[in-house]
């Protein structure tokens, strides 16, 4: 047997890198400290009290009074899949609002469920008009309308005012993936009239990937509980099965997850204690700052990043009217090797910026400023480093213009 490399025995010592891409971002130190706390048993009264606190803390973050506001253990995609597999079944019709990579992900999951779907599409860099969504919903009469709020692949944020009224008109429910915007842009679940919203910690909430906050309207909860089929090994007399079709996943069965988060404390899985501590602290930090102030900070960071990039002579990608506040796309200048710039940013400055997917791969960079990294000095450092790297690679930006432009934009009123 060959000997293991010596570095396998050393402690983890990652570089102190500034993560200014589309996510993940650097976690807030308070979140990391919270996650170092000791473990508790999953039914310990202190642990279940923390679970109840998480439910209360995330209601204002989601902009809702929904009772069923909790966590799905797993990355943000776990929340997406749990929502879709629990809301719709094989053969039912869904309408997907599609304007980027993560609209395509919704279609992928629906295909695996066996649901039927049609899409209403916008080119990457634009969003779908609400009138087009309404027309498609009236024509299709779908069971579910699905959309992403902010799609980091295109840096666009889909407007959602009015989508709930459209759904009610046709008898549909609405699912929203808010992974990239929760904690950085307003999530107004109740005002929008949407039924299920999921998120993640690793972007604007300033935590690590691994926990997906979720909120369910009463209508969504009733539908899901109607599909409840508790696995035989944990069945109990006080939990009745529903009469609907069994949800096609055990782990992502939201009916059983809801019973786990309820006073029944159904032993569905073992709660990810450390991630719950982190999720709890993410929400405490957001609410302590004040959501309005937090959204304004992210908007200032987005304005500053955009202004600095333009002052550098670069062309910002996409529709200004619908740009996410926390991620900015920028065209890679002709003749510049985008990956060489990213490598130099990382090796010379310990700063990570993002590449792109699909039709934009190799054509744009994506620069994020969110959560703990939506700070003026971090935006300015990133712009300064990018200017230096571009100059080293033969591009001639107007030297010294980006930082003053970004500073002025930060101070502007939205």
Please report where in the chains the tokens 């404390």 appear, as a residue: 265
Question: pLDDT value at position 87?
Answer: 98
- What's the chain's average pLDDT? 96
Q: Single out the residue of 328, 330, 313, 316 nearest to residue 395, CA to CA.
A: 313
Report pTM. 0.96
Q: What is the mean pLDDT of residues 288-314?
A: 98
What are the CA-CA distances from residue 372 to residues 7, 63, 109, 297, 346 (Å)? 31, 21, 31, 11, 19
Return the closest-CA partner of residue 234 out of 261, 273, 265, 262. 265
Beta partners for residue 92, in sequence order: none
- Residue 150, classified by CB atoms within 10 Å of its CB into exposed (0-12), middle (13-18) or buried (19+), is buried
Helix locations, 19-69, DSSP H: 29-34, 45-62
Residue 1: predicted pLDDT: 61
In sequence order, what DSSP letters do the residues of 141-157 get, joined into one string? --SEEEEESEETTTTEE
List, for residues 193-211, the tens digit of each pLDDT value: 999 999 999 999 999 999 9
What is the structure's pLDDT at 406?
98
- Measure the CA angle with vertex 196, ends 241 and 370; round to 5°: 140
- Asked if the model's pLDDT at residue 414 lies above 60, the reply is no
Give me the pLDDT at residue 9, please.
79
Length of the chain measured in residues? 414
> Which domains does the chain possess?
29-286 (3.40.640.10), 290-411 (3.90.1150.10)
On whether the CB atoms of residues 397 and 390 are closer than 8 A, the answer is yes
Distance from C-alpha of 46 to C-alpha of 65, rounded to nearest angstrom: 24
Q: Residue 370: name the closest of 195, 157, 216, 57 by CA.
A: 157
Residue 284 above 90 pLDDT?
A: yes
CA-to-CA dists, residue 246 to 74, 90, 110, 186, 304, angstroms: 22, 11, 16, 34, 49
Question: Using one digit for the tens of pLDDT, what is the confidence trace for 127-168?
Answer: 999 999 999 999 999 999 999 999 999 999 999 999 999 999
Going 33 to 38 to 44 to 46, the CA torsion angle's sign is negative
Residue labelled with tokens 């502007």 = 412
Q: How far is CA 130 from the centre of its chain?
A: 22
pLDDT tens digits, one per residue of 45-84: 999 999 999 999 999 999 999 999 999 999 999 999 999 9
323 three-state secondary structure: strand
Residue 203, SS3 per DSSP:
coil
Q: How far is CA 127 from the centre of its chain?
A: 17
């Amino acid at each position: 047997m060959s000997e293991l490399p010596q570095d396998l025995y050393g402690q983890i010592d990652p570089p102190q890198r500034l993560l200014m891409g589309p996510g993940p971002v650097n976690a807030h130190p308070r979140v990391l400290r919270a996650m170092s706390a000791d473990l508790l048993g999953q039914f310990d009264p202190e642990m279940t009290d923390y679970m109840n606190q998480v439910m209360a803390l995330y209601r204002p973050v989601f902009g809702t009074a929904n009772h069923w506001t909790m966590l799905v253990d797993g990355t943000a995609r776990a929340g997406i899949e749990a929502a879709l597999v629990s809301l719709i079944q094989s053969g039912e019709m869904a309408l997907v609002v599609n304007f980027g990579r993560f609209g395509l992900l919704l279609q992928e999951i629906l295909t695996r469920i066996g649901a039927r779907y049609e899409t209403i599409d916008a080119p990457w860099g634009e969003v779908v008009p609400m009138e087009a969504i309404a027309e498609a919903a009236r024509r299709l009469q779908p069971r579910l309308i699905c959309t992403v709020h902010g799609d980091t692949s295109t840096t666009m944020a889909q407007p959602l005012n009015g989508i709930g009224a459209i759904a009610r008109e046709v008898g549909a429910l609405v699912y929203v993936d808010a992974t990239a915007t929760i904690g950085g842009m307003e999530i107004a679940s109740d005002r929008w009239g949407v039924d299920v919203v999921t998120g993640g910690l690793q972007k604007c909430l300033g935590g690590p990937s691994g926990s997906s906050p979720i909120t369910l309207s009463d209508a969504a909860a009733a539908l899901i509980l109607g599909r409840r089929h508790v696995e035989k090994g944990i069945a109990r007399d006080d939990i009745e099965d529903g009469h609907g079709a069994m949800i096609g996943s055990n782990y992502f069965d939201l009916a059983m997850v809801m019973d786990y988060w309820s006073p029944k404390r159904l032993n569905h899985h073992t709660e990810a204690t450390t991630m719950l501590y982190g999720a709890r602290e993410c929400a405490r930090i957001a609410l302590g700052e004040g959501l309005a102030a937090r959204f304004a900070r992210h908007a200032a960071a987005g304005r500053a990043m955009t202004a600095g990039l333009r002052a550098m002579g670069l062309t910002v990608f996409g529709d200004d009217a619908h740009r996410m506040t926390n991620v900015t796309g920028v065209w890679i200048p002709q003749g510049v090797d985008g990956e060489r710039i990213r490598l130099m940013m990382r090796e010379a400055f310990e700063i990570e910026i993002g590449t792109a997917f699909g039709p934009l791969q190799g054509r744009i960079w994506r620069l994020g400023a969110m959560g703990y990294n939506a700070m003026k000095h971090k935006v300015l450092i990133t712009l300064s480093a990018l200017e230096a790297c571009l100059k080293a690679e033969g591009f001639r930006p107007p030297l010294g213009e980006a930082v003053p432009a970004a500073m002025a934009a930060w101070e502007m009123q939205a």
